[in-house]
Amino acid sequence: MSDQKISVFDIYENLPQTNCKNCGESNCMAFAEKLLNGQKGIGGCAGLRETVFADKRKEILKMIDEK
């Protein structure tokens, strides 16, 4: 197990990256930052709930738990 710190980019890479603003943020990077800081929950990103993003969603959940 690595104790490497999770960066906002690690989270961003697993987001849909459509900048659709449905989460209330201006773009996915802003959402990634708030998710990392605990200011937003992963459920805030509707796109991430789509089946095609299931694996990426799991990756993010792992990162958030391990931080």
Contact characters 12-51, ligand SF4, x per CB under 6 A: ---xx-xxxxxx-x-xx--x-------------xxxx---
Is residue 24 a contact partner of residue 45, using CB atoms and an 8 Å limit?
Answer: no
Q: How far is the CB of 5 from ligand SF4 (least distance, A)?
A: 21
Q: Nearest to residue 42, comparing CAs of 27, 18, 63?
A: 63
Q: 21 or 67: whose CB is closer to ligand SF4? A: 21
- Sites of contact with ligand SF4 (CB under 6 A): 15-16, 18-23, 25, 27-28, 31, 45-48
